[in-house]
Amino acid sequence: MKKIKSFFRALFDRKVRSRTISFLIVILGYIVVEILLKSGNLSSMFQSLLVPVTCYMVAALGLNLNVGVSGELNLGQAGFMSLGAFMGVCVSGALAPVVSNTLLRLLLAIVCGALIASVFGFLIGVPVLKLQGDYLAIVTLAFGEIIKSLINNLYIGFDANGFQFSFVENKLKLAPGGKALINGPMGATGTQRIATFTVGIILVLAALIVIYNIMYSRSGRAIQACRDNRIAAESVGIHVANTKMLAFVISAALAGAAGALYGLNYSTLVPAKFDFNLSILILVYVVLGGLGNMTGTIISTIILVLLPELLRGLQDYRMLIYAIVLILMMILSNNAKVREFAESMKQKLTSRKREEAANE
């Protein structure tokens, strides 16, 4: 009994409390959704949001590692998602005759998506991480646009002879029985939809495990040290470029995994879907949830994905109200006067409680 008690106390220890809470929220959310699904209380519209919400969550968690923990603004997360998505579609399409188990195929696609995104993350990270501040942000934006533009011109087919590639113009000559996997601006068509919500939740949990293990490790502390003071970190012997690269590559890998899941959730997927607006959307989840706060990212992703759907009753005005809510939330959570007011209210409340305690 004592052991169990101390185990729970360790779980809610101040240092790791946020980790336990994020896991609890994800698992609780999963249970609630499953109960709603089983009892048939979830409309088809919300059901269609289940997989995307986990994808956005994973991509946002990765971005939070990069923007919040490592402190480098990345405006190209959608580019890495795009790489993962189309890689995932290709892998799943090519393996369809060999691996009939869809779950295994999905997992392989996710792993391949994460791999290709991390390779590109490394290649892009080498030049990007030499820059600082807003210049770094614009270069990640540029890479995101370049990836979108390249995939927009990419044609990949698969037949008995293996993969065929073509660029800018569709010159694929597929043997009978072969199929085109990526069709330039048309993107992936006729993809078998094998993504499931359960795998999505597992992916979110995996992302949390990876991120918290890094954050609470030596390299995680090094990443935060580089964010807080680059020069001081360098002077105590931290290799800043390698440390920042670690965060950047893991962030890209998570985006790639999320992209693979996302790509296999739709039968058609166009490259233009992964544009600057998607990168921004994910960044909004991160900033609103709080930089470096993974629990916040999870909650803000859920709220902001649901918000436009909940506002559907307002019809045309819903995106307008979404924008206003976004601006108001930013102002309320960051304005100095509002903060002061909240502080003073908090103090009043605590002092009143203390008085009451003293009176008793």
Partner 1 sequence: MAFLSYLINGLSLGSVYAIIALGYTMVYGIAKMLNFAHGDIMMVGAYVAFFALNSFGLPVIPSVLLAMLACTVLGVVIERLAYRPLRQAPSLAVLITAIGVSYFLQNGAQLLWSSSTKVFPSVVPAGSVQLFGGQLSISYLTIVTILICIAVMICLTLFINRTRTGKAMRACAEDKGAAVLMGINVDRIISITFAIGSGIAAIAAVLLCSTYPSLSPTLGSMPGIKAFTAAVFGGIGSIPGAFLGGLLLGVIEILSKAYISTQLSDAIVFAVLIIVLLIKPTGLLGRKISEKV
Query: Which residues form the interface with partner 1 (CB under 8 A)?
Result: 67, 73, 127, 130-132, 134-135, 137-139, 141-143, 145-146, 149-150, 152-153, 168, 231, 276-277, 280, 283-284, 287-288, 291, 316-317, 319-320, 322-324, 326-327, 330-331, 333-337
In the bound state with partner 1, the residue whose beta carbon lies nearer, of 104 and 146, is 146
166: part of which helix (H) or strand (E)?
Answer: strand 162-167
Torsion 283-287-291-295 (CA) sign = negative
Min dist. Cβ of residue 257 to partner 1 (A):
25
Alpha-carbon gap, residue 276 to 34, rounded angstroms: 33
- Three-state DSSP class for residue 160: coil
Min dist. Cβ of residue 288 to partner 1 (A):
7
Min dist. Cβ of residue 333 to partner 1 (A):
8
Min dist. Cβ of residue 77 to partner 1 (A):
14
Min dist. Cβ of residue 34 to partner 1 (A):
33
**What angle separates helix 336-359 from helix 318-334, to the nearest 10 degrees?**
60
Residue 284's Cβ-side half-sphere holds a number of Cα atoms within 13 Å equal to 18
Rounded to the nearest 10°, the torsion over CA 196, 95, 101, 258 is -20
Q: What is the DSSP string of 177-188?
A: T-EEEEEGGG-B
What is the DSSP pairing of strand 162-167 with strand 179-183?
A: unpaired
In the bound state with partner 1, the residue whose beta carbon lies nearer, of 25 and 142, is 142
In the bound state with partner 1, the residue whose beta carbon lies nearer, of 146 and 175, is 146
Distances (CA, A) of 187 to 174, 213, 224, 266, 296: 17, 36, 39, 11, 33
Distances (CA, A) of 158 to 5, 109, 178, 194: 57, 16, 5, 19
Min dist. Cβ of residue 131 to partner 1 (A):
5
In the bound state with partner 1, the residue whose beta carbon lies nearer, of 229 and 350, is 229
In the bound state with partner 1, the residue whose beta carbon lies nearer, of 83 and 288, is 288
Min dist. Cβ of residue 168 to partner 1 (A):
6
In the bound state with partner 1, the residue whose beta carbon lies nearer, of 175 and 330, is 330
In the bound state with partner 1, the residue whose beta carbon lies nearer, of 101 and 277, is 277
